[in-house]
Amino acid sequence: MINFIFACLFILSTPGPGVLSTAGLGAAYGFRAGLAYIAGLFVGSNLVMLAVVSGLAALVFQFNGLRIALLIASTAYLLYLAARIAFAGSKVAFIHSDKQPGFWAAVTLQIINPKAYVVGTTMFSGFSIYPDAFLIEVIIKAIILNTIWIPVHFAWLYAGASLKKLNLADTTQQAINIFMALAMLAVVGLAALST
């Protein structure tokens, strides 16, 4: 179980579309504005978890055309987000938008987020805790994942909101944007390779 907990900490803390967009929302709109967004990410993450555990995701991904269409759509969306981050210029604004993303945007992001499926598949198909009690294992894993997920996302929101308050040099702000965009592209690449 300790290995599972450490894997959760590592996987959930690394930059992906959910945490990067959470930080971006905090940087653009502040901490309070991100609360509904985090709630949407939470619901979306648990829907993906349910799809993975129930086998629905595996069933859907058996249809090659549908799997490819979903992969192209999610990759295109994540590349779009990476471009928005990289070309934000010298302003720390990971994702600039005139309209603040809310609950349903976050739910949708998680449902098309390839990292969410990779994480769900990895965490629920590996790290056997109770091999003879599937339901108990799923419940324990879900509790642990959510217990780690919540503070990690609040930390990223706080980090983004804190960046908004800093008066960073233009070159530092550009470097942050480029780093976040490269991190997003790395996630897209890893997710594409795993499928």
pLDDT along the chain (195 residues), means of 10: 84 80 78 91 95 86 77 74 62 54 86 82 84 90 94 92 76 73 69 60
Extents of the domains making up the chain: 17-194
Q: Determine the pLDDT at residue 131.
A: 83
Instruction: Determine contact, residues 89/24, Cβ cutoff 8 Å.
Output: no
Query: Residue 61 burial (CB < 10 Å; 0-12/13-18/19+)?
Result: middle
Euclidean distance between CA atoms 75 and 85, whole angstroms: 15
Q: Determine the pLDDT at residue 145.
A: 94
Q: Determine the pLDDT at residue 147.
A: 96
Q: Determine the pLDDT at residue 152.
A: 94
Q: Determine the pLDDT at residue 25.
A: 77
Euclidean distance between CA atoms 172 and 91, whole angstroms: 9
Going by C-beta distance under 8 Å and a sequence separation of 6 or more, which residues neighbour residue 64? none
Q: Determine the pLDDT at residue 122.
A: 83
